[in-house]
Amino acid sequence: MGYGAYVLKRVLLIGPILFGVSLISFGALELLPGGPVEAAFGTRANPELVEQLREQYGLNRPFHVRYLDWVGDIVLNQDFGQTIRTERDVSTLLATSLPPTIWLAASGALVSVFIGIPAGIVSAVNHYEPEDYLATFLAFLGLSIPNFFLGLVLILVFSLYVPIFPSSGFVSPLEDPVEGVRTLVLPALTVGTAISAVVMRMMRSSLLEVFSEEYIRTARAKGLTRALVTNKHAVKNALIPTVTVVGLNFGYLLGGVVIVEQIFAIPGIGRLTLTAILTREYRVLQGSLLVIALLFALVNLATDLLYAYLDPRIKYD
Amino acid sequence: MSMARKTGGDEETGDRGVSRRTFVGAAGTTAATALAGCSGGDGTPTPTSGGGGGGGDGDDDSTPTADPAAAQRGGTLVAGMQSGLDGRDPHLVQAASTLRVLENIYGKLVEIDQDLKPVGQLATEWSVSDDDLTWTFQLREGVMFHPPESRELTAADVVYSFERLLNEDTGSPWRSNFTPIANVSADGDYTVVFEFDEPYAPFLFKLSSGGYILPEGADDASDYDIADQPVGTGPFVFDENVAQARTNVTAFEDYWGTDGDGNALPYLDEVEFQVIPEGQARLTNLQSGSIDWAVTVPPSQADSLEGSNSITLSNIPGTFYDYVGHNTTNAPLDDVRLRQAISWAISRESIVQGARFGYATPTQDPIPPASVWKDLISVDEPYSQDQARAESLREESDYDGEELTIQVGQQFPAQVNIAEIVQQQLGEVGITATVQPTDFGTMISNLNEGAYDLTIVGWSGFVDPDDMMYLQFHSGETFNQSNYSNEEVDELLEQGRQAAGDREERAAFYDDAIDIIAEEVPYTFLEFNDELAAWRNSVKNFTHISTGTPRFRDVWLEG
Amino acid sequence: MTLLDVSGLSTEFRTDEGVVQAVNDVDLTVEAGETVGIVGESGSGKSVTALSMLGLVDPPGYVTDGTVAFDGEDLRQASEKRLQEIRGNDIGMVFQDPMESLNPVLTVGEQIAEAARVHDRFGGEGVDWLERSLLGNFVPRRSARKRHPKSWAYAVEMMRQVGIPEPEQRATEYPHQFSGGMQQRAMIAMALVCEPDLLIADEPTTALDVTIEAQILDRLAELQAERGMGVLLITHDLGVVVETCDRVAVMYAGQIVEQGSVEDVFADPAHPYTRRLLDAIPDAKRGEGRLRAIEGNVPDLVDMPDACYFAPRCPHAHDACYEGVPDHESVGPDHVARCVLHREAGALPWEADGAGDTAMADGGDGTLDTEEGDR
Amino acid sequence: MTETDQSTTDQTTGGGSRPLPGAAAAETARRVFAESRLALLGLVITVGVVIVAAFAPVIAPYDPTAQNIAEAQLLAPSLEHPMGTDQLGRDVLSRVLYGAQLSIQVGVIAVGVAMLAGVPLGLVAGFYGGYTDETVMRAMDVVFSFPAILLAIAMVAILGQSTFNVMLAIGITYTPIFARVTRSGVLSVREETFVDAARAIGDSNASILARDILPNVVAPIIVQATVSLAFAILAESALSFLGLGAPPPAPSWGRMLSDSRNFMESAPWTALFPGLAIMVTILGFNFLGDGLRDTLDPQNDTESGGSI
């Protein structure tokens, strides 16, 4: 079965999961106490207005009708409905909130790769040397430091005492690359640290395993320099399990994004979801949970495809 | 329809886009006595403007008499706001941050000045009929609307705007301010007449909050959508909005306003309202110069700005006050002695210091310190912390140790701190209470349904005593969440609303009412928070108003 | 000038249980064009000896003594850089387990060509900095064939020489797409790319079935004849030694206990251990019944006694054997054995009453079975 | 005699983790902590934190909720107040000590909830396989596709903010991880002969699950429990940071950190010490979890970092 067919099969697999997520996010929120209208307005709004709004949003129709209507809008014309209180179009809200989150998650993953992998190599090559113990301890530290505490400390150091990076806001690197990158540095570091710890330990353990493999000795017997043996032969093999770890931890990364967006005031989908939960904007919440789940599924797919690309032994069955 | 309240969020950390700051203008003088242009109460330069009453001769404009000659034109002022636009239609929005932006885009007949008094904006003068039932406003001529309307403002636009506000289908949160209006009509191009069935003293102040003027036929305009593209008469035109990030407005060339020497306003080319929810972050950006002006500086950081030579910290008494709300029908709080015990147990000074770092003034009543009504309405027998008296009252009452819950909005840490202080001080007099942070939306529903014992929450933006007390303490009114009912107080509030006499006369009713309210403790008033704003020294000629509303029409940037 | 002259080579492993003397005072020589076999039970130190020669022993293993003269140059004094120039260039090495010895994520052609490129056989096709750096894994590059066509073609040619059919196509495939035999041929091709003077083959055919084994060994012999290459063949298969080696060294417990020409050693084994080894081969002619095993088991090489290591299992052990490690006693021209019997007067015990008593047996087909993990 | 060679990792053969019969648990524990210094260090830290939590009332110099705004608002660390005081004049050291109580309590109960829900699901899915396995695992995937923190926030915001709801929310978000770990443990043990033997003598599925399979799956579950404890504490402090954690005045590290956000510059100690407390506790659990994994369950070293 060719690579293309494998990809198609994986994409089709996303369908059922998205269906499950949409059902839960739609159902759970609609049926909870304090229906959308009462909660959104939150005041002793006079009954007729509440009734009128329920009519207007068709909230009195049976559950499945409303669910199919909602999903239909999304699938057919990408219309996620309206926010209740200010009639803002949810689709545009989601559209504007998605890029910052993607930039943040991607830069977080990048940080985790560019810190985690070299650190993993250093500590594997210097196995049981001081560098190894130091790197491992830092990795544990990275894993244990709460990202919001790290974020606050980074703000304190890098935008208060030594003001080089802005402490909040988001500029899309597409519009203004320099400013864009500057605003992303601290948040990316905050989000990426924990994952870089996981990547580093994964890289270290898989490298140690690879070093004991026969083909490494063959490479050395061919007269290759130590750097070539490590960077070309060993790392290429060790990357395979490490890549899957980054993919597996995307959920962890996304969790971190929600909090980091709050600290650095990045108008991403994490913050949108958090505000939607607190202000009971159900349409926004349902839409954003669906988008996050889709993001999640796509990343898992990307990890698998990268895995198949890196390891020629994988057959696409 | 409701006017929800606004809690501490606006002060410090992220205002979760939930807050509703209601601006309600205080009632000016009523009809009969003509009052020549009233100059500022406490010597601050006030705009020469038409006062209330007949024959007010409002001259051309209301800019403070700064030295306009040195004013430099151009530049972009970046303002750090607490949250993004919650909507773009001024008739449908109540969130503080949103209204602060729309204030610079839309115009209104009457606005509030530094002394919280109504002054003319689109209306040059106005008069009231002898029976106080008909208000007639003269419109300023030559006022242009923003593109794509780009035409002169006429009475028809004003009539259209108020009919839109009164129309239930619009679903405007401001509607209850204007329901007393029986009819609004245009008399020619530049005169608008409002008719009432009974006198409505606070009308001028109601106009100054929420009475925004939209072009006629805005809802079904073909070439723009009013919900996305605001079209007003203000000094700046809506340019762009990026959700949760920033809103840009650019100077309106045909703006009617001019400065003292007659050169056109506004001075600035553009204003960018940036969303920076974290108070600390707003401050950092202000210090680093990436923003020029910052709303609500966190009190905890205010001291560090005092000494700064590049930043001006403006600290004026605000219109936002915190209070302990009692649910007077919910045992054991139905016993007034327990409520009094609670009032005597609380030290307002420690709340001002603990929760607001000293940037607040203790209060016994809902009258803002800066308000002209302050010295006319006051509680004769004020409360202070007296633990012995509190304990004796508690023993007298039929309270026997039940645990009271204090509900507070979880999004507003300052108020959660107040709740913790109150809980501690109640504990010291034998009243056990627990703090229950709840999602703000849910909490408001609980307060409406009476599903609470005590609550820490606040009101803001009130300038007229009617707004401070009528809807809160009159039996059965929408905001009487304490379920408080006292005929005498109802009687006094109704008289206050319809009183024809001058301010002293009208104040008398409220002064009596507040004494009864203080006695029966539906509320324990705590403190009025200072209105803190800060801007770089390059920002010139900014007028800081107690309601916190930023008007950039006559502001200019140096260098 | 002897191609390879190893003397006094010792290697130890410092483990938690103590210091394991894996290789103990080994002397060995290989002439150009000659094939020398090292034979012994698994765990006798055969592989470690070979790896020690090339400096491929990593901690906790350390080469503690001896000289490894290759073409007159002592490799033990050579810098790592110099060793890298020699490995794969002047000395080629083939390992036992083909399935494990090729990098699974690189094409076979690339791995073979790499041997040539590393030693700059074709100017300008050397390894560039990007390939050496970590970034090389992330930056997509043109296929190996386009980047360095000459070394690729040479690799394909080498694959044809070792008998791999359709080498152009096979070169682009990955190791897991090769059979065991083909992989071993690829390994040999890789080792011979730079036409080394010496080839060290560590159990090259152990993992293969007999027919493939024969083809590989014949191919090796042909290549050796063509190139006048010295071959050091490490095996536990006495049959292989007989067919391919000129001289043989028998190792036991890290020591060479006997060394000499194949004819001498097989005809008249001078060390009791060698005799037991040879008697383990079931001789169809002799038609013995049960094969006899050597009593006891291989010593664990930790703080060995100052005596003949084989004494505990030797039927002729006597006091002399326990008074220090015996030296190489000359038994004939170019035939030595580390046994005190040759020092003492009188007939050798096995000469007196005929061959029979030293039979020992192990595996069925004359090969000593190897436990998993003998490397 | 085996030639020790370059191979440094010993390949333990045999499917599944080493069986952990109940009786020998103590002996196994001794072996674990002897073998892995990491686990020992982790144990020392975690036991230290638990002791602090248990004896907080004794150790703490002041009452953590006693306010003293007039004299002691935001005092720098001094002999009197080793960790300084906070905005309401409360002693930070006492609050950090009492905070340990809340964190441990939330962590343990949340993980308990996750195990109570996740382990049975995993057992059933792994043991019966086929249709049940598919549905349970797909359901877990759906729960997995929400970032745990959002799920927890939604639950707390909707169910109301109480310590119990916080624990329940975090517990539910970790159920899928335990289901997966248990399932993979069961799958590898199910093929063992002693399971077939038990089935052969007529044991009911339930008793096979309880007596034969569960004890042999305990090791990965213990390892997962330890690591999840670390992340549960992290999750509670994150929720408190967002104002959704356990309600005041119970001192919670996350809330202390959140409250100090606005005077990080002028009073950094109010943020530093709670932050360090969280970090040290989680470091301890991570060390313990890692050490246990290396000794009890060596195959399973690709365990994802757990999601918060």
Tens digit of pLDDT at every position of chain B (559 positions): 223 334 444 333 333 222 222 322 223 233 332 222 222 222 222 233 233 333 333 333 444 444 545 788 889 999 998 877 877 888 887 777 788 899 999 999 999 888 788 889 999 998 888 888 899 999 999 899 998 888 999 999 999 999 999 988 887 878 878 888 899 999 989 999 999 988 888 888 888 878 899 999 888 888 888 888 899 999 999 998 877 778 999 999 989 888 878 888 889 999 999 888 777 778 878 887 888 999 888 888 787 777 788 888 888 888 889 999 999 988 888 899 999 999 999 999 999 998 888 889 999 989 888 888 888 888 888 899 999 999 999 999 988 888 899 999 877 778 888 999 999 999 999 999 988 887 776 787 788 788 899 999 888 777 788 888 887 888 887 778 888 989 999 999 888 888 766 788 888 888 999 999 999 999 999 999 888 889 998 898 898 888 888 999 989 998 7
DSSP alpha helix (H) spans, C125-179: 129-132, 144-147, 149-161, 167-171
Phi, psi of B407 (to 5 degrees): -85, 140
Tokens coding A253: 């990364």
- What is the spatial distance between Cα B483 and Cα B531, in angstroms, rounded to a whole number? 30
Q: Quick one: CA dihedral C227, C232, C234, C235, positive or negative? A: positive
- For chain A, the first-to-last Cα distance in angstroms comes to 6
Taking the C-alpha atoms of residue D61 and residue A47, their distance in angstroms, rounded to an integer, is 55
- Percentage of chain C modeled with pLDDT above 90: 9
Rg of chain D over all Cα atoms, to the nearest angstrom: 22
Residue D260 forms contact with B (CB below 8 Å): no
Residues of A in contact with B17 (CB under 8 A): 275, 279
CB within 8 Å of chain D, chain A residues 233-292? 241, 244-245, 248-249, 251-252, 254-259, 262, 270, 273-274, 277-278, 285, 289, 292
Rg (CA), chain B: 23
Q: How many angstroms separate the CA of residue C114 from the nearest CA in chain A?
A: 8
Tokens of B348: 């307002």
pLDDT at position B502, please?
Answer: 77
Whole-number Å distance between alpha carbons of C109 and C154: 10
Question: How open is the CA angle D194-D199-D202, to the nearest 5 degrees?
Answer: 135
Q: Using the beta-carbon criterion (under 8 Å), do A259 and D149 form an inter-chain contact?
A: yes
Surface-to-core class of residue C143, CB atoms within 10 Å of its CB (0-12 exposed, 13-18 middle, 19+ buried): exposed
pLDDT digits (tens, 9 = 90+) for C232-272: 999 888 888 888 899 999 998 888 989 999 888 888 888 88
A181-212 pLDDT per residue, tens: 888 999 999 999 988 888 898 898 899 989 98
Joined together, the tokens standing for residue D223 give 């390892």
d(CA C42, CA B371): 100
Residues of chain D found within 8 Å of residue C46, distances taken between Cβ atoms: none
CB atoms within 10 A of CB C168: 13
Nearest Cβ partner for A221 among C54, C103, C174: C54
| Nearest of B160, B164, B157, B203 to residue B180 by alpha carbon | B203
Q: CB-CB: which of B284, B442, B449 is closest to A160?
A: B284
The secondary structure of D6-36 as a DSSP string is S--S----SSSSPP--GGGHHHHHHHHHHH-
**Other beta carbons within 10 Å of B308:** 14
Residue C87 amino acid letter: R
Token pair of D141 as six digits: 């995937």
CB contact under 8 Å between A267 and B14, yes or no, is: no
In C46-126, the DSSP E strands lie at 61-70, 73-74, 91-94
| Angstroms from B246 CA to nearest CA on chain A | 9
Residue A92 DSSP code: H
Identify whether the C-beta of residue D241 lies closer than 8 Å to the C-beta of residue D254: yes
Q: Which of D65, D258, D259 sits opposite B424 (nearest CB)?
A: D65
DSSP structural state of residue B191: E
Catalogue the long-range contacts made by B491-496 (C-beta closer than 8 Å, 24 or more residues apart).
B492/B516, B493/B466, B493/B469, B496/B201, B496/B465, B496/B466, B496/B469, B496/B470
Q: Which residues of C touch A217 (CB under 8 A)?
A: 51, 56, 95, 101
Whether C62 and C19 have beta carbons less than 8 Å apart is answered as no
- Of C86, C87, C103, Cβ closest to residue A215: C103
Contact between C224 and C199 under an 8 Å Cβ cutoff? The reply is: yes
Confidence of residue A177 (pLDDT cuts 50, 70, 90): confident
Element (H, E) at B369: none
Contact D92, D85 (CB under 8 A): yes
D63 touches chain B (CB under 8 A): no
Chain D residue at shortest CA distance from C17: D4
DSSP assignment of B217-257: TGGG-SS--TTTS---SSSEEEEEEETTTEEEEEE-TT-S-
C-alpha distance from residue B556 to each of B260, B268, C245 (Å): 14, 6, 99
Put simply, the answer to whether A273 touches D150 (Cβ < 8 Å) is yes
Q: Looking at residue B284, what is its pLDDT?
A: 78
Q: How far is CA A92 from the centre of its chain?
A: 21
Token output for D129: 């396989």
B187: Cβ contacts below 8 Å, ≥ 6 apart: B136, B155, B193
Residues on chain C touching A219 (C-beta within 8 angstroms): 103
Q: Does residue C98 contact residue C180 with C-beta atoms inside 8 Å?
A: yes
Instruction: Classify residue C143 as left (phi > 0), alpha (psi -120 to 50) or beta.
Output: beta
Q: A170 — contact with chain B (CB < 8 Å)? A: yes
CB B76 within 8 A of CB B268: yes
* Alpha carbons C141 and B373: distance in angstroms, whole number: 80
Q: What is the pLDDT of residue A32?
A: 57
Rounded-to-integer distance, Cα B425 and Cα B324, Å:
13
Of A92, A167, A170, the CB nearest to B284: A167
> Residue B387 CB: number of other CB atoms within 10 A?
15
Distance from CA of A140 to the nearest CA of C (A): 24
- Split at pLDDT 50, 70, 90, the class of C282 is low
Asked whether the beta carbons of B426 and B453 are under 8 A apart, the reply is no
d(CA D169, CA D110): 8
C244: its two tokens: 């391919």
Is the Cβ pair D242, A259 closer than 8 Å?
A: yes
Tokens of B434: 């627990």
Q: If we measure between CA atoms, which residue out of B270, B374, B327, B294 comes closest to residue B524?
A: B327
A91 interfacial to chain B (CB closer than 8 Å):
no
Among B390-394, C205-209, C285-289, the range scoring the smallest mean pLDDT is C285-289
Q: Which residue of B has its CA nearest to A161?
A: B284
Of residues C186 and C285, more confidently modeled: C186
C283 vs B21: CA distance, rounded Å: 106
Q: What is the pLDDT at residue B29?
A: 31
Assign A117 to helix, strand or coil: helix
Q: Is A155 an 8 Å CB contact of chain B?
A: yes
Directed axis angle between helix D214-241 and helix D92-128, to 10°? 140
Tell me, what's the pLDDT at C225? 85
Cβ–Cβ below 8 Å for B444 and A43:
yes
Q: Contact, B333 vs B520, CB < 8 A?
A: no
- The tokens describing A216, both together, are 């490494």
Peptide bond into D249 cis (omega under 30): yes
How far A154 CA lies from chain B's nearest CA (Å)?
13
Report A:201-240 residues touching B (Cβ under 8 A). Answer: none
Angle (CA) A236 A240 A243, round 5° = 115
Name the closest residue on chain C to residue D11, using Cα atoms: C373
CB-based contact, A186 to chain D, within 8 Å: no
- CA torsion angle A154 A155 A156 A157 (round to 10): 50
D258 reaches B (C-beta below 8 A): yes
Out of D8, D142, D157, closest to residue A277 by CB? D157
Give C240-243 contacts, CB < 8 A, sequence gap 24+. Answer: C240/C37, C240/C205, C240/C213, C241/C37, C241/C39, C242/C266, C243/C217
pLDDT of residue C274: 86
The C-alpha atoms of residue B112 and residue A22 are separated, in whole angstroms, by 49
Which of B423-432, C278-287, C292-301 has maximum average pLDDT?
Answer: B423-432
The H or E element spanning position D290 is helix D269-296
Residue among D160, D258, D262 minimizing CB distance to B298: D262
Q: What residues in chain C have their Cβ under 8 A from chain A's Cβ atoms? A: 51, 54, 56, 80, 83-89, 92-93, 95, 97, 100-106, 114-115, 118-119, 127, 131-134, 136-137, 174, 176, 187, 190-191
A36 half-sphere exposure, CB direction, 13 A CA radius = 24
User: What is the average pLDDT score of chain A?
Assistant: 80
- Chain C neighbours, 3+ Cβ pairs < 8 A: A, D
pLDDT of B342: 93
Q: Do chains B and C touch (3 or more CB pairs under 8 A)?
A: no
CA dihedral for C130, C133, C135, C137, sign (positive or negative)? positive
Q: Report chain D's terminal Cα–Cα distance, integer Å.
A: 48
From the list C230, C241, C254, the residue with the least C-alpha distance to C42 is: C254
Interface test with B, best of D74, D75, D88 (most B CBs within 10 A): D88
C327 neighbors C338 (Cβ within 8 angstroms): yes
Question: What number is the average pLDDT over the span C212-232?
Answer: 84
pLDDT at C7 > cutoff 80: yes
List the pLDDT tens digit at each of the 308 positions of chain D.
223 333 233 333 333 444 455 556 677 777 777 777 888 888 999 999 999 999 988 888 888 888 888 888 888 898 888 999 988 888 999 999 999 998 899 899 999 999 999 998 888 888 887 888 888 888 887 787 777 888 888 888 777 778 888 888 889 888 988 998 888 888 887 777 777 787 787 777 777 777 777 777 888 888 889 888 988 888 888 888 887 877 777 788 988 888 888 777 788 899 899 999 999 999 999 888 888 887 776 655 434 333 33
